[in-house]
Amino acid sequence: MDADAPPPTDARPLILDVDTGIDDMIALLIAATSPELNLRGVTCVAGNVEIHHVARNTGKILRMVGRGDVPVSIGAARPLQRRLRTAPDTHGPTGTGYVELRGEDRQLGTTEYTAIPASRYLGAHVSRHPGRISVLALGPLTNLASAVQQGIDLAGSTREVIWMGGTLEERGNTTETGEWNACVDPEAAETCLRAGAVHRIMPLDATQDVIFTMDDLRALPDTHLAGIVRDAVRFYVGFHQKADGIDGAYLHDPVALVSSILRPDLVTEEVTETLACDTSSDPYLAGSLYRAEDESRPSVKVATAIDPEATREELLTRLARAVSAPHG
């Protein structure tokens, strides 16, 4: 998308909730440059790294593709009830795998950081445009749960709320049965599931269907921004080699964006479940999703498989466009 051109009038209004993070960074790049999307705002939540790193990375990434116009709202600095845990092994100490997002600090002053905290930002937006906004959450659900606790009807006043998180059958990436975004703030996930505030989930069962290799990244156009993405993903691949024994990386967040919103036809299997999130004090269980007995609880759609090759191609094509954006 030409960064100076307004989004097409039929572009889908979207708010991204992120804990930027290497794979969040790629999702941001794609969301900010996909012409079908009208990125109305980005809300930040602590998760992969502390909130100040999330906010700084998010502002920088948007500026690097000429989208300093997108409002960035700073949200929860810690989970609803638990101590914050971060993932320096996975994403590096500041969330970019040791890659310096250099040279943009001066310009950060012009990023639209809004003084409105994330939960209120979400609430204000969805109530101003009832039924129109999609929300895609790519981190712990703390901001969304806070909105629910403030009485905001996310389920009823959005077009759709989608979450990358949890796992059904796939082994967890944080505990045996727990996925990172769910494990960081189990109470938030449970609050949202109980309230029906999430309509659709993209769990590990779907996002781990595709492995991205360094060869995939080497095929990107030769731009400064492509170099940054490649270096960050190289760190992420190093982590996956040790943790999962794969020669590549799972790009959970951009895979969720591409296969839930941009190309929903890429989802090949989906189930409808009534889910809850374990909030016990047992660290091996907290954050695991399970089928709830409570029949009054709203159900949620869960993607359990995607088309790996078509998803890889779609994501890389969009990433190639993003890293070639005018300010890339």
Report the nearest approach of Ca ion to the CB of residue 61 (Å).
Answer: 13
138 binds Ca ion (CB under 5 A): yes
Report the nearest approach of ligand BDR to the CB of residue 59 (Å).
Answer: 18
Binding partner selected for residue 173 from Ca ion, ligand BDR, none, CB under the kind-specific 5 to 8 Å limit: ligand BDR
Residues that bind ligand BDR (CB under 6 A): 21, 23-24, 48, 87, 90, 138-139, 164, 173, 179-181, 252-253
Among residues 53, 91, 240, 252, the one annotated as catalytic is: 252
Q: Is 252 a catalytic residue?
A: yes
Of 119-127, 225-233, 245-253, 256-264, the window that binds Ca ion (rule: CB under 5 A) is 245-253
Report the nearest approach of ligand BDR to the CB of residue 204 (Å).
Answer: 6
Q: Which of 24, 187, 216, 314 binds Ca ion (CB under 5 A)?
A: 24
Mask for 194-233, x = binds Ca ion (CB under 5 A): ----------------------------------------
- Closest CB to ligand BDR among 167 and 279? 167
How many other C-beta atoms can be found within 10 angstroms of the C-beta atom of residue 327? Answer: 15
Phi, psi (degrees; rounded to nearest 5) at 196: 70, 25
**What's the CA gap between 31 and 20, in Å, rounded?**
13
Report the nearest approach of ligand BDR to the CB of residue 265 (Å).
Answer: 23
Q: Is 19 a catalytic residue?
A: yes
* Catalytic residue list: 19, 252
